[in-house]
Amino acid sequence: MKKYLILPIFSLFVLIASCGQNDSDTVEVMDPHHFLETLENDSSSQLVDVRTTEEFGVSHLKEAQNICVTDADFEEKIKGLDKTKPVYVYCRSGNRSARAAKILEENGFTKVYDLQGGITSWDEEGLETEQ
């Protein structure tokens, strides 16, 4: 009888272990310095701050455009972006940008870079923002 339990237990273990993995080739989460380096070396980049207009007004990354992921028309607004060019997204801490990255991927964008820890981690590293 113990033989019959091995396969189901092993299968359950494999399933649980794979749940936390990001198998997406489209979305890449990057620390602030790697994000900046990649962004600076990418002349075709599209930088999107997915926070609210109010948060964007306080400070944002240079040359970022503001498309708030929590707005009802987010999917409509991203149609103005080029799906074939990389999109760099960030928010305050990384939660909303992860949501935005998933939506971008679902809408056919080919490469999305997500700033790990958001603008909070960017600021902690002493990197430049503007108002």
Residue pLDDT, tens place only, 60-114 = 999 999 999 999 999 999 999 999 999 999 999 999 999 999 999 999 999 999 9
Instruction: State percent of the chain over pLDDT 70.
Output: 82
In this structure, of 10-19, 56-65, 118-127, the range with the lowest mean pLDDT score is 10-19
Q: Supply the residues annotated as catalytic.
A: 91
Asked if residue 4 has pLDDT above 90, the reply is no
Q: How confident is the model at residue 25 (pLDDT cuts 50, 70, 90)?
A: confident
- Tell me how far CA of residue 11 lies from CA of 5, 14, 23, 73, in angstroms: 10, 5, 19, 41
What band does 13 get if pLDDT is binned at 50, 70 and 90?
Answer: very low
Residue-averaged pLDDT of the chain = 88
Question: What's the predicted TM-score (pTM) here?
Answer: 0.80
| CATH number for the domain whose boundaries are 21-124 | 3.40.250.10
Tokens of 54: 């109010």
Q: What are the residue ranges spanned by the domains of the chain? A: 21-124
For the beta sheet containing 46-49, the strands, ordered from the edge strand earlier in sequence to the opposite edge, are: 27-30, 112-115, 87-90, 46-49, 65-66
| Predicted pLDDT of residue 131 | 87
Average pLDDT over residues 33-57: 96
